[in-house]
Chain A
Amino acid sequence: MNTRVGSWVSHRKWILAVVVLPVLAAAWWAFRPEKLWINQKVNEPAPFASSADPQPLYTGRLQGKAHQTSGRGTIYKTSDGKEYLRLMDFMTSNGPDVHVVLAQSDDANLTQEIVKGQFDSVELGPLKGNQGDQNYDLPASVDLQKYNAAVIYCERFHAVFGVARLEQF
């Protein structure tokens, strides 16, 4: 009696070994469920060797509002800690009293062409040219987490020419 039960159990063990284990192994190989918890972290240096060069911090494409505006705005940090905004492949329409300012990207004013009421912005200077690559120094204390949009802004008519929402580079 005892031996019969014993052999039945070992028979089941045998089936388990032959059928279930390979299935489990295949499933493990295919899905690698442990990878859900295991992270593989790497940290390779940038392809450019010199860290003395200005490093890009934030970047974004310019989108036209009141006037067609295109190009890219990027905020760089130089090795001595200074920050500047660089406009590249830049193009907008020329106009009177046009300035480059930083603003908050979620500011409702930036969804409209004309700013009405309070516009919380940081002045970077008058627009140097309506075309071409150009740099604007940032005030040392500006909070780039808060002022995360570069705006081409006509002071005279409160017109938003174009906006670049800046994302972490």
Chain B
Amino acid sequence: MVRKMKTALTLVALTFAFGLQVSVYAQDSMKHEDKTKTLETGTFHGKVHKTSGRATIYQEADGKLVLRLTNFKTSNGPDVHVILIAAKDADDDANFLNSSTERVELGSLKGNEGDQNYEIPSDTDLSKFQAVSIYCERFNANFGAAPLEKF
């Protein structure tokens, strides 16, 4: 009986030592008042038209959504737009004309280099539109795309 209890106690002790790992939850706050929230971010890829930089979606205090491009660089071209696409990502030079990919127009590309902001329509479903594309309307060409992930 005593032996059985000893075995049981040893088993319990071993369970505590190895198996049972209690979760420890930490909750440090941001080191400032977070008025503008960072929702999603991702980096651009594009080979045919070399595209690089980062795309980030912010939500301002009043709920407005803004797409910001930073360290951004692509090739200059005719009729280039910034769009959100209802896909996880886009291939290099993917042709959108032949596909039925839904998109949200954010406006003409302001510059092929540098930091820039684009307003996103407030009713845009970001869980559906998961990637940014730099898109040439005239030739239906994808210059570069950035898949967005939760920040």
Contact = CB atoms under 8 A, between A and B. Distances in A.
A129 B35 CA distance: 26
Interface string B20-41: 0111111111111001101001
Contact of B31 (A46, A50, A78, A132): A78
B70 A47 contact: no
A132 B29 CA distance: 10
Interface stretch (A15-23, A30-38, A104-112): A30-38
Given A42-B110, A43-B114, A94-B22, A167 B76 contact: no
Interface in A69-111: 72, 74, 76, 78, 84, 86, 88-89, 93-95
B105 interface: no
Instruction: Name the prevailing secondary structure of the A interface residues.
Output: loop
Instruction: Using C-beta atoms within 8 Å of the partner chain, give the interface range for chain B.
Output: 35 or more
Interface stretch (A3-11, A53-61, A142-150): A53-61
Instruction: Name the prevailing secondary structure of the B interface residues.
Output: loop
Interface residues of A, number: 46
Given A46-B68, A169-B54, A38 B150 contact: no
A32 B78 contact: yes
B78 A94 contact: no
Contact of A47 (B30, B31, B58, B150): B58
B146 to A, nearest CB: 12
A39 B113 contact: yes
Contacts of A168: 54, 71
Contact of A39 (B23, B78, B112): B112
Nearest to A71: B150
B75 interface: yes
Interface of A: 29-32, 35-36, 38-48, 50, 52-54, 56, 59, 61, 72, 74, 76, 78, 84, 86, 88-89, 93-95, 128-135, 167-169
**Chain A to chain B: the 10 pairs with minimum beta-carbon distance, closest first:** A129-B26, A42-B111, A35-B76, A94-B21, A48-B36, A128-B26, A129-B24, A40-B111, A32-B78, A134-B26
